[in-house]
């Protein structure tokens, strides 16, 4: 059983001008996502700026989101680290706080071998009971989790159930689905590739777009699962200009700017991320207007 099917939101973490976590706004964002049909909340991932949080903040945010979500939809906690001991600690604590699943990014900077990746992920998996999704995003981490490695982990580690794939390498993804006979929960990590990923047997998307267009992102998946592939593809293509604008600077700079433009008060980024360049913000604003959300 997949942790979820459909559109999961890679949720931003709203900050006050002081850069402290804005828990009031965080609750508003979670409630809005649930109201518009989002199928899962993914908290403290890349989009949630977990990399600039202390461990205490990281776990406090996970605990808070679990408390306010109240099991209405699954909460998946980002608990990956390039230090295996840290990933184990964060994962065990997230489980205690009520997370329904974990998202583990491949260890960054260290550039582990494939055997090292297996050992890392198995060590974390052995420390917890809840299901785990791997997160393959080599553009961020500097290391690719090979299809054979993902297949081995998903087939032979009981609580490693799937992968968020953001490599963009569809040949490798097709190999993965072939190696596992589809017995892996595959999620798109790229908003411009939802429908192609679903066509290979994907369960859905872990989405940045869903922060500002939750109903539309949910509908891309829902239409596909109902057999209306033509409508799903049309919805996907209609969102491409906005998706491109959301990634014209490094995530989550544009999506936080978009939320602020919508009056959602997501607040600033934490350094080393900075405010969006004016020309790119104009591009984003125009794309949002054309998409009908501004």
Active site residues: 135, 164
Count, in order, helices (H) and strands (E) of the chain: 13, 8
Distance (Å, whole) CA 294 – CA 288: 6
What is the radius of gyration, based on Cα positions, of the chain? 18
Q: Across-strand partners of 188? A: 165, 205
| Beta strand ranges found along 83-237 (DSSP E) | 101-105, 132-136, 160-165, 185-188, 204-207
C-alpha separations of 59 from 11, 50, 74, 129, 252 in Å? 15, 10, 17, 18, 20
Three-state DSSP at 223 gives helix
User: Is 47 among the annotated ligand-binding positions?
Assistant: yes
C-alpha separations of 166 from 21, 106, 162, 186, 272 in Å? 27, 12, 13, 11, 23
User: Is 73 among the annotated ligand-binding positions?
Assistant: no
- According to DSSP, residue 73 is labeled S
Tokens 């080393």, located at residue: 272
- Specify binding-site residues: 47, 206
- Specify binding-site residues for pyruvate: 47, 206
């Amino acid at each position: 059983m997949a942790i979820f099917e459909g559109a999961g939101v890679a949720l931003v973490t709203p900050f006050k001008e002081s850069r402290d976590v804005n828990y009031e706004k965080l609750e508003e964002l979670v409630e809005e996502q649930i109201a518009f049909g989002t199928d899962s909340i993914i908290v403290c991932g890349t989009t949630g700026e977990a990399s600039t949080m202390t461990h205490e903040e990281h776990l406090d945010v996970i605990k808070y989101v679990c408390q306010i979500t109240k099991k209405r939809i699954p909460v998946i906690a980002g608990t990956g680290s390039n230090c295996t001991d840290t990933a184990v600690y964060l994962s065990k604590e997230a489980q205690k706080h009520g997370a329904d699943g974990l998202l583990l990014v491949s260890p960054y900077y260290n550039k582990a071998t494939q055997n090292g990746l297996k050992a890392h992920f198995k060590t974390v998996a052995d420390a917890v009971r809840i299901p785990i999704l791997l997160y393959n995003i080599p553009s961020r981490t500097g290391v690719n989790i090979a299809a054979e490695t993902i297949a081995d982990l998903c087939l032979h580690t009981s609580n490693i159930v799937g992968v968020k794939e953001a490599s963009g390498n569809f040949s490798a993804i097709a190999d993965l689905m072939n190696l596992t006979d589809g017995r892996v929960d595959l999620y798109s990590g790229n908003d411009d590739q939802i429908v192609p990923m679903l066509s290979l047997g994907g369960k859905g998307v872990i989405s940045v777009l869903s922060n500002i267009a939750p109903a539309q992102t949910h509908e891309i998946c829902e239409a596909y699962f109902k057999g209306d592939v033509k409508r799903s593809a049309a919805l996907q293509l209609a969102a491409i200009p906005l998706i491109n604008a959301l990634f014209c600077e490094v995530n989550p700079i544009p999506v936080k700017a978009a939320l602020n433009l919508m009056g959602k008060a997501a607040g600033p980024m934490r350094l080393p991320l900075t405010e969006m360049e004016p020309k790119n913000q104009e591009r984003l604003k125009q794309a949002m207007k054309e998409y009908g959300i501004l």
